[in-house]
Amino acid sequence: MGPGLLSILLLVLGRSLWSSEHHPPERRRGGLGFWGALAAGLLGAEARRLEATEHQEKDCGTAPLVDVLKGSRIIGGTEAQAGAWPWIVSLQVQSGSILIHICGGSLVKERWVLTAAHCIKDSRNPVIWRAVIGTNRINVSYSYSRKIKINAIIVHPDFNLESYVNDIALFQLKKAVTYNDYIQPICLPFDVFQNLNQRTKCFISGWGRTQETGNGTNTLQEAEVHFISRSMCNSEKSYGGIIPNTSFCAGDEDGVFDSCRGDSGGPLMCYLPEQRRFFVMGITSYGHGCGRKGFPGVYSGPSFYQKWLTDHLYQKSTTKSRSNKNILLGQVLIVLLSVVLLVTT
């Protein structure tokens, strides 16, 4: 068979594949229409499989074991139920043979944890860090929980430790986690942050101090809080204008419920009923003491860093997607050549 004839056949087969995607396949026992439809079916199934793999986080922000709207949570600075917040991460530092909890974090993709930049102020060396995921008790190991090494730590390049401006960072895990009832990603707040108001149901959770001068806890704590307006939080009676434009306040005006040391980096988790899922509206950043009246917690807003986050979170996915498309293209050529041989022999 000459190259010219082969090119013509490949062109005809390509049109056949395209046609099979836009029109019902002809019911033939043989010929290019039948083989083209068969090839299109096989390749279409593979394309759908790859697409599903690349968009696993579309089911983010749901806790399979607990329903917040049915009153199954214990609210008010008390212990969280197992599986209540399946995206909560304990970021720990290896010190000899023991691990020490430093900060909280949020699982946002199977290999990415969102946290605060100031958590890494003492060491950016990923070798000494570990991420403990899928547990509410950091001193107990469960079959469904995971302790994973860190591959890289990415701090926002414009983070300022003095003002806490741009207090955001990412931990890339050594290996991807497998989602289960106790390990799930939380949704990023892109395009929904504007829906946050004082009526939104929001929660904080962490292993930090339960009192300003107290110690941390081994059991995950939780509390319900609400968004506090910038006019109140940044007033002279409160923070006096020092709140960064990319941050906001949440908590309780009387200081009854608040985050504290050890909770840094953890999420402010807000439930949007129209979306029926939780979003990480904020990252626990700082506060004036803990639980002080008039000084609620300050949270860095991930929605203000959409480009920076997507550049890092989806860079690998983009490369993988291109690679998958190249593989799929190779499969197309193999199938087409096989069809040519079957039809012409």
Looking up residue 292, the CATH number of its domain turns out to be: 2.40.10.10
Task: Please report whether residue 276 resides in a domain.
Answer: yes
* CA distance linking residue 169 with residue 223, whole number of Å: 24
Same domain, yes or no, for 150 and 268? yes
pLDDT single digits (tens) 245-263:
999 999 876 544 444 454 7
Same domain, yes or no, for 117 and 156? yes
pLDDT of residue 141: 87
Same domain, yes or no, for 93 and 180? yes
Same domain, yes or no, for 31 and 83? no
Structure tokens at 52: 């599903």
Same domain, yes or no, for 159 and 215? yes
- Crossing angle of helices 3-22 and 32-54, in 10° steps, is 60
* CA distance linking residue 143 with residue 206, whole number of Å: 21
Same domain, yes or no, for 141 and 276? yes
Report whether 190 contacts 280 (CB < 8 A). Answer: no
pLDDT single digits (tens) 8-56:
444 444 444 444 444 444 443 444 455 555 445 545 544 444 443 343 3
pLDDT of residue 146: 96
Task: Please report whether residue 288 resides in a domain.
Answer: yes
Q: Is 264 a catalytic residue?
A: yes
CB count in 10 Å sphere of residue 227: 22
pLDDT of residue 248: 95
Q: Which of 264, 285, 300, 303 is catalytic?
A: 264
Tell me the residue range of the domain where 28 lies.
3-54+327-344
Task: State which residues of the chain have pLDDT below 50.
Answer: 5-32, 38-39, 42, 45-56, 71-76, 211-213, 255-260, 262, 317-325
Q: Is 118 a catalytic residue?
A: yes
Same domain, yes or no, for 135 and 176? yes
Same domain, yes or no, for 45 and 189? no
Q: Which of 106, 167, 247, 285 is catalytic?
A: 167
Structure tokens at 174: 């050594």
Torsional sign, CA 213, 300, 77, 88: negative
Structure tokens at 66: 């607990």
pLDDT of residue 5: 45
Task: Please report whether residue 318 resides in a domain.
Answer: no
Q: Is 167 a catalytic residue?
A: yes
Q: Which of 118, 145, 258, 263 is catalytic?
A: 118
